[in-house]
Chains A and B, each alone.
Chain A
């Protein structure tokens, strides 16, 4: 029986690269491809893949919240998070979201097959950086850094995080309502709750919060260019 893998990345060129890499393995098949987190959640519910590989910086619903939604739907989902950064905060959030694998995009050609193999064998797979962080947390505190030890993040619900991302991407409450099949009034209520919980006063503050907490990501310019572009990676 084939190992079925669902891929979620907003760049088709990356999905093609990942497909080429994974399908070289006999007995593995890419059963679906999603271009954002929302699509990934829907496809995962329908296709029930053995492994889901999610990019962290997707529009509409980022990889961390995709992982949260998948785990909320079915804790048996095995998720590998692909990321361009292995900062402490991103690692902690990925662990907290329920990811069982964590692979740097730059190392995907080397590590991704090993990561899928690990999950297939009911093990976890992390980069050396993650292992170091988990070990440091273990040594410092006598236990592994994981759930409920994420850094000082206010407790937004899954829905609130989803709406935070969409608002930070520049969508209006009405557009968010349409995307999520909610009423505009419900979205406005969520929006007020988010602003209150986070002690924010403007959409600008919300965007800054979303960037700082990896809900959306900044695309840095090439060296020798001064102004960063604020786009969703």
Chain B
């Protein structure tokens, strides 16, 4: 079976995970600004996210924290665990309404590479996806975007 990631190695393949379809639509609209990026799928909770990561092999998972069935932190841990031996290069970026340093720390501890607050997603999302797709950390609480290698 061909590797979907190598077939489109120039593009960033993104999986959107949020329990609100309207938020996924908003994220999709924002990401469409980048012609070389492709939203390859959507999921509405953590369990579906883990399944779709397996089947779609995205480069970046844009993940909400608070979701039904399985929250984003648990999903992130599970995704990282499953990806550990695959050398996939997959990165997780949290987009959440929790404007909290504590939650940000937990997200990074769970294996995420980026953290963006939903209220500032329009400002930070593109830069964050760009950073994490290049395996650089991007964290931004409401007032302080920070990207680092």
Interface residues of A (CB under 8 A from B): 10-21, 105-106, 108-110, 112, 219-225, 229, 231, 233
The CA-CA distance from A13 to B26 in the complex, in Å, is: 5
A220-B66, A223-B71 in contact; A20/B25 too (CB < 8 A)?
yes
The CA-CA distance from A225 to B19 in the complex, in Å, is: 19
Within 8 Å CB of B40, what residues of A?
none
A221-B98, A221-B103 in contact; A16/B29 too (CB < 8 A)?
yes
Interface string of B49-68 (1 = CB under 8 A from A): 00000000000000001110
Number of A-B contacts (CB under 8 A): 86
The CA-CA distance from A21 to B125 in the complex, in Å, is: 20
Q: Is the CB of A10 within 8 A of B66?
A: no
In which size bucket is the chain B interface?
20 to 34
Within 8 Å CB of A225, what residues of B?
103, 106
The CA-CA distance from A10 to B28 in the complex, in Å, is: 18
Within 8 Å CB of A112, what residues of B?
22
Interface of A is mostly: helix
CB of A26 to closest CB in B, whole Å: 18
The CA-CA distance from A17 to B22 in the complex, in Å, is: 5
Within 8 Å CB of B122, what residues of A?
12-13, 16
Would you list 15 pairs from A and B whose C-beta atoms are within 8 A, ordered by A residue? A11-B121, A12-B26, A14-B23, A16-B26, A16-B29, A17-B22, A17-B26, A18-B22, A20-B26, A20-B29, A108-B21, A222-B66, A222-B67, A222-B71, A225-B106
Q: Is the CB of B24 within 8 A of A224?
A: no
What is the chain B residue whose CB lies nearest that of A12?
A: B122
